[in-house]
Every structure is written in structure tokens, then in C-alpha cells.
A = this chain, B = another copy of it.
Amino acid sequence: MPEDLHATKLALLKATERLVAAKGFEATSLRAITAAAKVNLAAVNYHFSSKDALILAMLNRRLKPINEARLALLDQFEKAAGSKPVPLEKILEALFRPILDLVARRSKEGRDFLRLIALALAEPSAFLKPLVEKEFSEKTRRFHRALRRTLPNLSDAEAHWRLHFAHGVFIHTVAHSQVLECTSQGRCRITKADEVLRRIINFCAAGLRSPA
């Protein structure tokens, strides 16, 4: 069943990704998308039934494999740790590496995707809520559990707060990297995934370990 290989659908998903990242959800028209994808205007409603469904499909196409990779990495680190808790730095690596790898592997598409996450989080429009909540709640639960095993002196609430903080570091850093490039006058750039990962993990690990 080569549903996703269908040339028209794929072209639409890619064009949507690029244009929405550049212009935002509402400001990107179906006419612009179909023109960029070189397909007919009616193709969107034919293949996806609506603009909202197209955008959801576009976000899901990237989100799903990334969240699977995150949980797979966490699984792997948990197995490697045996009965012991997973080292804090490994938990953070499982959380952040899949997205940063996407940036490194396919620079333009990866960056676009990060902008889209920031957009989706900020966008108050209702149709994105289910996706954001589903995406966040399940993943957060798993990582919250691992974190409490590794840092047992953290209370349940404190672990939630700090995981939220760590997420903030990561999302803000990668989604608004142009602000950093601007304020640092080009001295700081998000190019090498491993270097950025190391900096972020270093910062977050210290914050997470901080005594109350």
C-alpha cells in the first residue's frame, strides 16, 4: 500500500513543511502550497480533505518517527543500565538527540521542522491541541519516570518542573537559533549537532541536579 509514496501527496507535504515554516499556518495559502508543489489546487482537498488535515499530516510525518526514536533510545539506555538508573546525561541525550540529528542530517528540513514545533506550540488555534497534547503527555510520562529513578531526591512535582525547564532550553535554543546568532553577532551557530547537544546537556544536567 504505497499511500505515502504517492507523488502528489509527498510533494504537498514537503511544500507545506517549507512554506509553513517560512510564513506560518494562516499566512500560508493552499494556492501557494499547490503552486510550490506543482500540483493542482484541488489536490489538497482531494488527498487530505482539508487544509487543517494537511497540516496535521505534515506535522505527524516528522513527529512520529522522532518520538519513536526518543523512546527507542531511552529503551536502549535502560537496557544498558541493567538494574541501575539511567545516567542523567543519557536521559537527556535520548530526549534531544533525535531532533538534533534531523537537523544535522537534513539541515534545511530539520530547521524547518523545529520552527514548526515552535509554531505549533505557540499557535492557539484549536485543531493543533490534540496533537500537541498527545505528543507531549506520553513522552513526558516515560522520561519523568526515568528521571525520578536517576534523581530520587527530586520530588514528583520538582521533577515535572525541571523537565519542563529542560524542554524549554532545548526548544527555545533550536527553534529560535536565529535570535542567538543575532545577539551573539554570529559567534554562536547551530551547525554541529554534537556540539550543541553537549552544551545543552551540560546546562540541563547541572540544573536538574541542583539541590532544592
Contact = CB atoms under 8 A, between A and B. Distances in A.
Contact of A123 (B24, B144, B160, B187): B24
Nearest to A23: B124
Contacts of A207: 169, 202-204, 206-207
Identical copies in the complex? 2
Contact of A157 (B137, B162, B187, B212): B187
A31 B179 CA distance: 33
B176 A121 contact: yes
Closest 5 CB pairs of A and B: A168-B172, A26-B26, A206-B210, A203-B207, A160-B184
Interface of A: 21-27, 115, 118-119, 121-125, 132-133, 136-137, 140-141, 144, 156-158, 160-162, 164-165, 167-173, 175-176, 179-180, 182-184, 187-188, 199-200, 202-210, 212
